Amino acid sequence: MQDQAKQEGWGHFKPTAMLVMADGTVIEGVGFGATGKAVGEVCFNTAMTGYEEILTDPSYAGQIVTFTFPHIGNVGANGEDVETVDYDHVQGARGLIVRAPVTAPSNFRAEKGFDDWLKARGVIGLAGVDTRALTALIREKGMPNAVIAHDPNGVFDLDALKREAAAWPGIDGMDLVPDVTAAKDYRWTETTWRLGSGFGAQNGTRFKVVALDFGVKRNILRLLAEAGCDVKVVPATTSADEILAMKPDGVFLSNGPGDPAETGKYAVPTIRKILEARVPTFGICLGHQMMALAVGAKTMKMRQGHHGANHPVKDFTTDKVEIVSMNHGFAVDPASLPANAVETHKSLFDGSNCGIALTDRPAFSVQHHPEASPGPQDSHYLFARFIDMMEKRRAVAVP
């Protein structure tokens, strides 16, 4: 590690940050961002852009992100790219690992340097790491539990860090939604961003949509608002009776972190009642897993998960292949899907399930992120599919 750091221009190398894994493996490097320590599950993300959106995605709660792209942070940071709804509450990744040192920001949208932004959000960075080797380790052995620590003086209690990493129970079996869900109901009216004008404001609505918040991203809400939805976001523990009393035209099940089976203990009964009421329902990411659990399917922990903006997925309803953004460490077991749940999307990387539609209810969900922030916009049509579903229900509704 020290030889590598010297070769890459770090000069005199003194470790000021380290990653200590549960099995005792230690990776040393140069710290940046916040100081201190944080424990989490180490994953890798293959996206070449969008590091700010990735780090503020609530679905990354409880995780430490290894970026495979070597140059992270060089375009700085700005308030527009934050995906966490609550700007002041840290609801994303606990730390990040990169190969190259962070340089001064070079982008016309930058409002501050990446290092200062990380310090303000309390996120720890570790640089000077062979991220290719770490990615290979994760692919071979799975996502490890670890502690990331940063001390500018390079003083660490290594034995204590090893004990902390080994003692952390891991995300499997952990409900992280309470850390990221809304504290109370609120309405969303901001629409999508455009160069030169920024974000738009909603001008008229057609459908009432209740969004059940498991850790929702801003751009999902923007696309719903852009499509003409009067969006009301509610906490994850909101009951089905409360939601149905709002008389929504549709219900949205958001993305989020943690083990879906644990969140499902309180969310699945709610979703079942919504489906039984035949309210059009659309789920993304954790929302997809929640819908699958609600109809009797099972979820399973993935070894390395899917994290990136270059994943090929086939939509069997259109027979097209899309490049999508993904961020999940659990997946729906396709073999457990009941007869009324048809598989609509599949990953072309590993064949894992990426979408379902119910044959007896107006409901569908996808594992990937069609709002694509960051990422391609191949799957934006899914929001139009949700709108079409609500239009059809309204057309046959009895006055």
Active site amino acids: 285, 369, 371
| CA pair distance 321, 104, nearest whole angstrom | 38
Strands (E), the chain: 17-21, 26-33, 36-45, 63-67, 95-97, 124-127, 145-150, 186-188, 190-194, 198-201, 207-213, 229-235, 250-253, 281-284, 299-315, 320-332, 341-347, 353-358, 363-366
Max alpha carbon distance in the chain (Å)?
A: 76
Cα 79 from Cα 167, distance rounded (Å) = 36
Residue 156 φ/ψ region, left for φ over 0, alpha for ψ in the -120 to 50 degree band, beta for the rest: beta
State how beta strands 63-67 and 198-201 pair: unpaired
d(CA 160, CA 111): 38
Q: d(Cα 283, Cα 212) in Å, to the nearest integer? A: 10
Q: What does each C-alpha distance from 88 to 64, 82, 91, 121, 347 come to in angstroms?
A: 20, 11, 9, 8, 35
The number of C-alpha atoms within 13 Å of 17 and in the hemisphere containing its C-beta is 27
Q: Is 112 exposed, middle or buried (0-12, 13-18, 19+ CB in 10 A)?
A: middle
